A and B are shown apart, each in its own frame.
Chain A
Amino acid sequence: MSGAGAVRTTGLAAWWGAIRRDRKATAGAVLLGFFVLVGVFGPWLVGDPHALVGIPLQPPSAEHWLGTTGQGQDVLAQLVVGTRVSLAIGFIVGIAVVLVGALVGVTAGYFGGRVDGLLSLLFNVFLVIPGLPLAIVIAAYLPSGPATLALVLTVTGWAWNARVLRAQALSQRQRDYVAAAVVAGESDFRIITREILPTMTSLLVAQIIGSTTYAIGAQVGLEFLGLGDVSAVTWGTNLYWAQNDSALLTGAWWTFAPTGLCVALVGFGLTMLNSGFDEITNPRLQLERAWRGYLAARGHKATRSTPVVGDRG
């Protein structure tokens, strides 16, 4: 990004620029970056998460910052090591789900007619069939492990993206530049990949981020049920074992609290990054805040009818 004042208005560079300008999005990026670093480098800094290092169910201490599990393993080590797999699967599924969704959605939106009818029916059915039970049923037949999880999460998650991307493709299809390309004789494939998809870059990135949030949460849920590889160390399996070892009933909050907190922080960070924060704070309300401040400064109430301020002749 050169500092010469050049501001790109479309594509990835523009999106990155927007992130840096928006404080909340930057905060989200920092939060996410922190977890990525932990995931990548953390495992080398902590001990073996499988090792039995102490008496089971010890509360946090100087020796074990987050205490020990029901088996006597170090909670912090498990948390850090689990970060890598959980985030990795999350990102992979996030991307996969958007790819499949784009494939189906853009095809449906672009071609319209029967193709659209059929594909729309397909993703609508997948939207209405409850995801978790379906995921469980499919995963149960397959060997447990990250590949199964990724497959199952993709199968149950793609429909939402398909729906959104179809709507976008449909609206782009009506635009003049597409009509021009059709008249110029460009093939459908080229129109989709060269003309339409580039306009959807920031939407696709936003979708990937949103889907990653979904993937991490859903993954943790499935592993909590015992469908992941329970001998592996991930955030979800940590929670599975915490529940299994009756952490709650023995008061061992440290075995499950930090993990859940991490899941939430990553999810929150991703949401902030998506500037989905706009949804939360609503720009129209920001505008009204300026108005309220203006009225308050002049000793005026903010009335429902248009207020009258200032000297009147």
Chain B
Amino acid sequence: MAEPLLSVRDLCVDYVTDRGPVRAVDHVSFDLAPGEILGVAGESGCGKSTVAQALLRILPPPAVISGGEARFEGRDLLGLGEDELRELRWKRISMVFQSAMDALNPVIPVGEQICDTLHAHRELGRRAARDRAAELLELVGIPAGMIDAYAHQLSGGMRQRLGIAIALALEPSLVILDEPTTALDVIVEREILGHIRTLQRRLGFAVLFITHDLSRMLQVSDRVAVFYAARLVELAPADELRRAPRHPYTQGLLRAFPSVHGGTVELASIPGAPPSLSDPPAGCRFHPRCPLAVDLCRERDPEPRRMGSDHTAACHLAK
């Protein structure tokens, strides 16, 4: 890969509780190329959203970034001060939150919520900012007349599209999508994802696409990262992951989310539940639920290993 846009190495994030720190992200490493769409998959609580918010350093207390490195456009994200962070946020990296209803301020008109970030960063005049806001609304297919409407007056799909419009306001080079369609019905979901893909091709930003819906992600992403219990367990191009997943967890996920195309496959869920992060199992964290577990898995934690040109997996049995 040429100079990556984002380079994360051994990132660790802890939540400080009164019983001590709980690790929510454990030595996660990956790269992201400019204009690339990287999907991030995993069950709830596996750390995928935490990684994204850690990059922007917007994790609320009691979160602490306890180790690792994150370089973005050559800058050390973890070493930036408050003012530098505020400048970088939204201008270079932006985010579309999960539930768009909750992510919009209910008492300010929606147009204002695009304009305030324009003012905060570029000091665009009032008129210029309003024009830009109208432009952005048009870009995502919201009638320009809604610029003075309030969040509760928009439908769910419109709110999600508004979230995208806000995210693109300053033309960032990386847009993080955190479960952008989970709260929407399937038809609207398809529309939104189509929008995102079109915009991405047109404007060329990189995307970190976080979702628990693996099959959806495989359709949209260039590469996919699979998280389990705060660890990155597999990272590969989307096609290769679909064809030949190396980690048993990924294999299990694929079986649970069969593709609409192709033959009928038996739906199988992975038995058991994800482990508690405050007291993870010894050895490989997945071994209690893994159909292929052997003694080695119970004793030793597998390191992520390279297999093939662009495929990494953390499993003793993967080849």
Interface of chain B residues 58 through 77 with chain A (CB within 8 A): 58-69
Point out the residue from B17, B65, B69, B79 that lies within 8 Å of A306, measured CB to CB. B65
Q: How large is the interface on A (under 10, 10 to 19, 20 to 34, 35 or more residues)?
A: 20 to 34
Contacts of B38 in A (CB 8 A): none
Point out the residue from A290, A306, A310 that lies within 8 Å of B18, measured CB to CB. A290
Interface of chain B residues 39 through 74 with chain A (CB within 8 A): 53-54, 57-69
Given A291-B16, A294-B16, A308 and B21 contact (CB-CB distance below 8 Å): no
| Residue among A286, A288, A294, A302 with max Cβ neighbours from chain B (10 Å) | A294
Contacts of A310 in B (CB 8 A): 12, 66-67
| Residue among A288, A292, A312 with max Cβ neighbours from chain B (10 Å) | A312
* Interchain CA distance A295-B14 in the complex, whole Å: 12
* Interchain CA distance A223-B66 in the complex, whole Å: 62
* Interchain CA distance A286-B62 in the complex, whole Å: 10
* Interchain CA distance A308-B65 in the complex, whole Å: 5
Render A130-158 as a binary contact track against B, CB cut-off 8 A, 1 for contact: 00000000000000000000000000000
Point out the residue from A303, A304, A312 that lies within 8 Å of B78, measured CB to CB. A312
**Distance between B92 CB and nearest chain A CB, rounded to angstroms:** 15
Inter-subunit contact A305/B78 (CB<8 Å): no
B82 in the interface, Cβ–Cβ < 8 Å?
yes
- In the complex, residue of chain A having the shortest beta-carbon distance to the beta carbon of B13: A306
Contacts of B146 in A (CB 8 A): none
Inter-subunit contact B78/A291 (CB<8 Å): no
* Interchain CA distance A292-B64 in the complex, whole Å: 10
Inter-subunit contact B69/A312 (CB<8 Å): yes
Inter-subunit contact B68/A294 (CB<8 Å): no
Inter-subunit contact A313/B68 (CB<8 Å): yes
* Interchain CA distance A313-B76 in the complex, whole Å: 11
A280 in the interface, Cβ–Cβ < 8 Å?
no
Contacts of A312 in B (CB 8 A): 67-69, 78-79
Inter-subunit contact B82/A313 (CB<8 Å): no
A309 in the interface, Cβ–Cβ < 8 Å?
yes
B116 in the interface, Cβ–Cβ < 8 Å?
no
* Interchain CA distance A292-B62 in the complex, whole Å: 8
* Interchain CA distance A286-B78 in the complex, whole Å: 27
Contacts of A62 in B (CB 8 A): none
Contacts of A292 in B (CB 8 A): 61
* Interchain CA distance A31-B10 in the complex, whole Å: 54
B147 in the interface, Cβ–Cβ < 8 Å?
no
Interface of chain A residues 237 through 255 with chain B (CB within 8 A): none
Given A305-B85, A313-B9, A288 and B66 contact (CB-CB distance below 8 Å): no
A3 in the interface, Cβ–Cβ < 8 Å?
no
* Interchain CA distance A291-B20 in the complex, whole Å: 9
Inter-subunit contact A307/B64 (CB<8 Å): yes
Given A309-B65, A313-B10, A287 and B79 contact (CB-CB distance below 8 Å): no
17 A-B pairs whose Cβ atoms sit less than 8 Å apart in the complex: A286-B18, A287-B17, A287-B61, A290-B16, A291-B62, A291-B64, A294-B64, A304-B82, A305-B58, A306-B60, A306-B64, A306-B65, A307-B64, A307-B65, A308-B79, A310-B12, A312-B69
Q: A288-B61, A306-B65, A312-B67 are in contact. List 6 more A-B contacts (CB 8 A).
A: A287-B62, A305-B85, A306-B13, A306-B53, A307-B65, A308-B78
List the interface of chain A (C-beta within 8 A of B).
Answer: 286-288, 290-292, 294-295, 302-313
